[in-house]
Amino acid sequence: MKAADLKTLAQLAEQAAAIAADFIRQYSHGDITVELKSGMSSKASEVVTWVDLQCQTLILNHLQESIAHYDLGLLTEELPDDGSRLTKDYFWCIDPLDGTLAFTERRPGYAVSIALVSRTGVPMIGVVHEPITDQRIVAVRGQGVQSSLERTLDNQATPDQLICCLDHVMAEHPRYAALRTMLDELTHSQALTSTRYISGAGAVLQACQASLHEHAVFFKIPKVTQGGGCIWDYAATACIFEELGYHVTDLYGAPLQLNNPKSLYMNHCGVLYSSRKELAQDIIDWFQSIER
């Protein structure tokens, strides 16, 4: 796809995300009816609201013409996978409201995420829009990153800390104690003052917040049960991290499988984002040592 086409599609995605964010902001107060999806591995992945569904409709309405004009596939969280991602050269990958649990609990941590991904799994465009503060970040492959995003999850973090963005459910993982020990040792080896943990947000905003700190990591450990996030949780932020020159792989150090024909989920491989590549390598080494 030509650079000019990518730029045009990025602008469309940015507009669509802004429309959805405006809608979300209208319903950021008051009670919201919550439904639960079946077969999910955590409360955060179970929760869906009519706001999620309406945001998806608004985004698709704005992107529909581009789907026809560029012959694009589609993968979006609140619709079944129609397989077009495996037959088209590129597909829109949409999470209309990532962090729905945070949204229903009326706390920061949710965002709109739209990506364009190639059939080979390369993220070409990444757009994230944070509705509460109306901030956004846009990345286009080979064209850099534009961002107005600021720290929204933890304003008290300092440059001499190791920032670790982890899910609440990570505390239930059988290797959580070993994980905490490893991170404390990593903090010490990097001559940092302390380890600071940030949790409670969706995967999209956790990754974005990690990109704003000098020493930061965001990752999920592989697990047997289905879960660990889906393609739409990581496609946009993977593009952002790659354009920033930061680290983004699975926990084995391999590129993220952003168009795996066998599964939408990442539980088999985990994910690893870091604002410093040497931090990421230390975590990969640790994970490989406990896997032996």
DSSP 3-state assignment of 119?
coil
145-153: Cβ within 8 A, 24+ apart: 145/240, 145/243, 145/244, 149/208, 149/212, 150/212, 151/209, 151/212, 151/213, 152/108, 152/205, 152/209, 153/108, 153/109, 153/198, 153/200, 153/201, 153/205, 153/206, 153/209
Residue-wise pLDDT tens digits, 41-92: 454 555 568 899 999 999 999 999 999 999 999 999 999 999 999 999 999 9
Query: With contact defined as beta carbons under 8 Å apart, do 123 and 273 qualify?
Result: no
Residue 31, pLDDT score: 66
Q: Shortest CA distance to 208 belongs to which of 257, 123, 139? A: 139
Residue 24: partners with Cβ closer than 8 Å, 6 or more residues away: 51, 55, 97, 103, 110, 112, 131
Q: Shortest CA distance to 219 belongs to which of 267, 270, 183, 266? A: 270
Residue-wise pLDDT tens digits, 208-261: 999 999 999 999 988 888 777 999 999 999 999 999 999 999 999 999 999 999
98 is in an annotated binding site: yes
Residue 262, pLDDT score: 94
Residue 121, pLDDT score: 98
Residue 169, pLDDT score: 78
Q: Tell me the pLDDT band of 20, cut-offs 50, 70 and 90.
A: very high
95 is in an annotated binding site: yes
Stretch 176-183: mean pLDDT: 91
Query: With contact defined as beta carbons under 8 Å apart, do 211 and 244 qualify?
Result: yes
The yes-or-no verdict on residue 38 having pLDDT over 60 is no
- What is Dmax (Cα atoms) for the chain? 53
Q: Tell me the pLDDT band of 35, cut-offs 50, 70 and 90.
A: low
Q: Which domains does the chain have, with CATH numbers?
A: 3-147 (3.30.540.10), 161-291 (3.40.190.80)
The yes-or-no verdict on residue 30 having pLDDT over 50 is yes
The yes-or-no verdict on residue 151 having pLDDT over 90 is no
Residue 160, pLDDT score: 95
Percent of the chain with pLDDT over 70: 93
Residue 240, pLDDT score: 98
Q: Shortest CA distance to 5 belongs to which of 143, 127, 98, 138? A: 143
Task: Tell me the average pLDDT of the chain.
Answer: 91
The yes-or-no verdict on residue 6 having pLDDT over 90 is yes
Residue-wise pLDDT tens digits, 78-106: 999 999 999 999 999 999 999 998 998 88
Residue 80: partners with Cβ closer than 8 Å, 6 or more residues away: none
Query: With contact defined as beta carbons under 8 Å apart, do 37 and 48 qualify?
Result: yes
Residue 39, pLDDT score: 52
Query: With contact defined as beta carbons under 8 Å apart, do 153 and 209 qualify?
Result: yes
285 is in an annotated binding site: no
pTM (2 d.p.): 0.93
Q: Tell me the pLDDT band of 263, cut-offs 50, 70 and 90.
A: very high
Environment class of 174 (CB within 10 Å of its CB; exposed 0-12, middle 13-18, buried 19+): exposed
How many whole angstroms separate alpha carbon 168 and alpha carbon 178? 16
Q: Tell me the pLDDT band of 40, cut-offs 50, 70 and 90.
A: very low
